[in-house]
Structure 1
Amino acid sequence: MAEKSAYEPLLEKGRKNYDYEKTPLFLSCMKWVLKIIMWVIFVLWATVLVIYPLELGDQFFLKWIDATSHTLFGITGSIFLLFGGPLFLIAFLAIVQVAIFKKEEVQEKPASKKARFRLWTFPVIVDGPFGVVSAGEFIGILAFSVFIIWIASVFIIKDSNSSSVSAIQSLWEKSVLMLEITGLRFGLIGLFCLAFLFLPVSRGSILLRLIDIPFEHAARYHVWLGHLTMVIFSLHGLFYVIAWTMKGTLIQELLDWKNIGIANLPGVISLSAGLLMWVTSLPPVRRVQFELFFYTHQLYVVFVVFLALHVGDFIFSIAAAGIFLFMLDRFLRFFQSRSTVDIVSAKCLPCGTVELILSKPASLHYNALSWIFVQVRELSWLQWHPFSVSSSPLDGKYHIAILIKVLGDWTEKLRGLIMNISDQENQKKALLQPYRSITASVEGPYGHESPYHLTYPNLILVAGGIGISPFLAILNDILHRINENKPCSPRKILIVWAVKKSNELPLLHSVDMESMCPRFSDTLNLEIQTYVTRESEPSLEEGAVHKLQGSSVFPIPSGSAMSVLVGTGHIIWSGIYLIVPTIGLVITLGLLNIFYINPYSISYWWYKGLLFIACMVASVVIFGGATVGLWNYWDKSVSKMEVPEDFKKDSIQSHQTGNHETSEQENFTSTIRYGVRPDFRDIFGSISEKWGDVDIGVIVCGPPTLQTSIARECRGQNINRQKNHPIFHFNSHSFDL
Structure 2
Amino acid sequence: MNMAETERKISEQIRNVQFAIKLLVLVIFLGYMMIWIMMPTNIFWLHWLPHIYTATASTYFGLQGANLLIYSFPILLIATLGCLHLHLGKYVDDSDTRVQKAAYSLSWNRPVLVRGPLGIISLVELSFLLMFVALLVWSFSAYVVDMFKNITREAASAMNVSVWELKLRSAALLLGLVGNVCLAFLFFPVTRGSSVLRLLGLTSESTIKYHIFLGHTALTLFTAHGLCYVVFWARTNQISEMIKWNKIGISNVAGEVALVSGLIMWITSFTPVRRKIFELFFYTHHLYMAFVVSFVLHVGFPYSCIMLPGFYLFMIDRYLRFLQSQQRVRLVSARILPCQTMELNFSKDPRLSYKPSSIMFVNVKSVSKLQWHPFTVISNNNTDPDKLSVAIRCEGRWSQKLYQKLSSQIHRLEVSVEGPYGPASTSFLRHEMLVMVSGGSGITPFISIIRELLFLSRTPELNIPKVLLVSAFKKSEDLAMLELLLPDSGTFCNITNLKFRIQAYVTREKTLATENPKQSQTIYFRPDVLDRPVSSILGSNSWIWLGTIISCSFLIFLILTGLLTRYYIYPIDHNTNQIYSYTAKSLFNMLFLCVSIVIAATLVFLWNKKQNAIYVRQIQSADSPTSIESPGPESWPHNFDTELESLPHQLSLEQFTTIHFGQRPDLKKILLEFEELKVGVLVSGPKKMRQDTAAICSSSLAKNLSYESFSFNW
1:439 aligned partner: 414
Q: Given the alignment of the two structures, is residue 576 of structure 1 paired with residue 576 of structure 2, yes or no?
A: no
Q: Secondary structure at the match of 1:649?
A: coil
Pick the aligned partner of 1:141 from 123, 129, 152: 129
For the Cα contact (< 8 Å) 1:132–1:711, is it kept in 2? yes
Q: Given the alignment of the two structures, is residue 628 of structure 1 paired with residue 595 of structure 2, yes or no?
A: no
Q: Given the alignment of the two structures, is residue 611 of structure 1 paired with residue 588 of structure 2, yes or no?
A: yes
1:348 aligned partner: 336
For the Cα contact (< 8 Å) 1:372–1:442, is it kept in 2? yes
Pick the aligned partner of 1:380 from 368, 388, 403: 368
Q: Secondary structure at the match of 1:417?
A: helix
1:461 aligned partner: 436
Q: Given the alignment of the two structures, is residue 415 of structure 1 paired with residue 403 of structure 2, yes or no?
A: yes
Structure 1 residue 617 displacement after superposition: 1.1
Structure 1 stretch 374-383 or stretch 227-236: which is displaced more? 227-236
Q: Given the alignment of the two structures, is residue 539 of structure 1 paired with residue 513 of structure 2, yes or no?
A: yes
Q: Residues 148-297 of structure 1: matches in 2 within 5 Å?
A: 148-162=136-150, 167-168=155-156, 173-250=162-239, 252-297=240-285
Counterparts of 1:294 and 1:60 in 2: how far apart (Å)?
Answer: 43
1:42 alignment partner AA: F
* TM score, norm. by length of structure 2: 0.90
User: Percent identity of the aligned residues?
Assistant: 32
Counterparts of 2:540 and 2:230 in 1: how far apart (Å)?
Answer: 45
Pick the aligned partner of 1:720 from 685, 688, 701: 701
Structure 1 residue 448 displacement after superposition: 0.3
Structure 1 residue 568 displacement after superposition: 9.6
For the Cα contact (< 8 Å) 1:345–1:554, is it kept in 2? yes
Q: Once the two structures are superposed, what CA deviation does each residue of 1:219-269 show, in whole Å capped at 9, x if it has no partner?
A: 22211211111122112112212211221323x121111111111011001
1:696 alignment partner AA: V
- Kindly tell me: are residues 301 and 625 of structure 1, through their superposed partners in 2, closer, same or farther at Cα, counting changes over 3 Å? same
Structure 1 residue 705 displacement after superposition: 1.9
Counterparts of 2:484 and 2:310 in 1: how far apart (Å)?
Answer: 44
For the Cα contact (< 8 Å) 1:80–1:317, is it kept in 2? yes
- Kindly tell me: are residues 443 and 488 of structure 1, through their superposed partners in 2, closer, same or farther at Cα, counting changes over 3 Å? farther
Counterparts of 1:278 and 1:112 in 2: how far apart (Å)?
Answer: 44
Q: Secondary structure at the match of 1:287?
A: helix
2:635 aligned partner: none
Counterparts of 2:487 and 2:608 in 1: how far apart (Å)?
Answer: 39
For the Cα contact (< 8 Å) 1:165–1:174, is it kept in 2? yes
Q: Residues 567-716 of structure 1: matches in 2 within 5 Å?
A: 570-601=542-573, 603-642=580-619, 645-651=623-629, 664=651, 666=653, 668-687=655-674, 691-692=675-676, 694-716=677-699
- Kindly tell me: are residues 120 and 656 of structure 1, through their superposed partners in 2, closer, same or farther at Cα, counting changes over 3 Å? farther
- Kindly tell me: are residues 387 and 28 of structure 1, through their superposed partners in 2, closer, same or farther at Cα, counting changes over 3 Å? closer
- Kindly tell me: are residues 616 and 255 of structure 1, through their superposed partners in 2, closer, same or farther at Cα, counting changes over 3 Å? same
Structure 1 unaligned segments of length 5 or more: list them.
Answer: 1-16, 423-435
Q: Once the two structures are superposed, what CA deviation does each residue of 1:575-603 show, in whole Å capped at 9, x if it has no partner?
A: 22222211111112112223432344461
Report the number of matched residues: 692
Pick the aligned partner of 1:48 from 14, 18, 35: 35
For the Cα contact (< 8 Å) 2:241–2:252, is it kept in 1? yes
- Kindly tell me: are residues 160 and 469 of structure 1, through their superposed partners in 2, closer, same or farther at Cα, counting changes over 3 Å? same
For the Cα contact (< 8 Å) 2:475–2:506, is it kept in 1? yes
Counterparts of 1:481 and 1:227 in 2: how far apart (Å)?
Answer: 44
Structure 1 stretch 460-469 or stretch 100-109: which is displaced more? 100-109
For the Cα contact (< 8 Å) 2:332–2:630, is it kept in 1? no
Q: Secondary structure at the match of 1:393?
A: coil
Q: Once the two structures are superposed, what CA deviation does each residue of 1:622-674 show, in whole Å capped at 9, x if it has no partner?
A: 23222222222223223333356555324479x99999877537585321111
For the Cα contact (< 8 Å) 1:262–1:311, is it kept in 2? yes
For the Cα contact (< 8 Å) 1:498–1:678, is it kept in 2? yes
- Kindly tell me: are residues 517 and 55 of structure 1, through their superposed partners in 2, closer, same or farther at Cα, counting changes over 3 Å? same
For the Cα contact (< 8 Å) 1:397–1:650, is it kept in 2? no
Q: Secondary structure at the match of 1:118?
A: helix
For the Cα contact (< 8 Å) 2:151–2:166, is it kept in 1? no
Q: Given the alignment of the two structures, is residue 106 of structure 1 paired with residue 94 of structure 2, yes or no?
A: yes
Q: Secondary structure at the match of 1:86?
A: helix
Structure 1 residue 455 displacement after superposition: 3.8
Q: Given the alignment of the two structures, is residue 549 of structure 1 paired with residue 538 of structure 2, yes or no?
A: no
Counterparts of 1:599 and 1:182 in 2: how far apart (Å)?
Answer: 38
- Kindly tell me: are residues 388 and 645 of structure 1, through their superposed partners in 2, closer, same or farther at Cα, counting changes over 3 Å? farther
Q: Once the two structures are superposed, what CA deviation does each residue of 1:177-202 show, in whole Å capped at 9, x if it has no partner?
A: 21112211221222222111111211
- Kindly tell me: are residues 727 and 63 of structure 1, through their superposed partners in 2, closer, same or farther at Cα, counting changes over 3 Å? same
- Kindly tell me: are residues 574 and 111 of structure 1, through their superposed partners in 2, closer, same or farther at Cα, counting changes over 3 Å? closer
1:578 alignment partner AA: I
For the Cα contact (< 8 Å) 2:412–2:527, is it kept in 1? yes
1:392 aligned partner: 380
- Kindly tell me: are residues 438 and 395 of structure 1, through their superposed partners in 2, closer, same or farther at Cα, counting changes over 3 Å? farther
Counterparts of 2:426 and 2:152 in 1: how far apart (Å)?
Answer: 59
Q: Secondary structure at the match of 1:126?
A: strand
- Kindly tell me: are residues 450 and 652 of structure 1, through their superposed partners in 2, closer, same or farther at Cα, counting changes over 3 Å? farther
Counterparts of 1:560 and 1:665 in 2: how far apart (Å)?
Answer: 34
2:534 aligned partner: 562
2:170 alignment partner AA: I
Q: Given the alignment of the two structures, is residue 528 of structure 1 paired with residue 484 of structure 2, yes or no?
A: no
Q: Secondary structure at the match of 2:407?
A: helix
CA RMSD after TM alignment = 2.9
For the Cα contact (< 8 Å) 2:539–2:608, is it kept in 1? no
- Kindly tell me: are residues 513 and 391 of structure 1, through their superposed partners in 2, closer, same or farther at Cα, counting changes over 3 Å? closer
Structure 1 residue 92 displacement after superposition: 2.0
For the Cα contact (< 8 Å) 2:59–2:570, is it kept in 1? no
Q: Secondary structure at the match of 1:412?
A: helix
Counterparts of 1:580 and 1:500 in 2: how far apart (Å)?
Answer: 53
For the Cα contact (< 8 Å) 1:204–1:566, is it kept in 2? no
2:199 alignment partner AA: L
Counterparts of 1:501 and 1:697 in 2: how far apart (Å)?
Answer: 28
- Kindly tell me: are residues 567 and 24 of structure 1, through their superposed partners in 2, closer, same or farther at Cα, counting changes over 3 Å? closer
For the Cα contact (< 8 Å) 2:98–2:429, is it kept in 1? no
Counterparts of 1:656 and 1:700 in 2: how far apart (Å)?
Answer: 35
For the Cα contact (< 8 Å) 1:339–1:441, is it kept in 2? yes
Counterparts of 2:263 and 2:611 in 1: how far apart (Å)?
Answer: 43
Structure 2 unaligned segments of length 5 or more: list them.
Answer: 574-578, 632-638
- Kindly tell me: are residues 656 and 75 of structure 1, through their superposed partners in 2, closer, same or farther at Cα, counting changes over 3 Å? farther
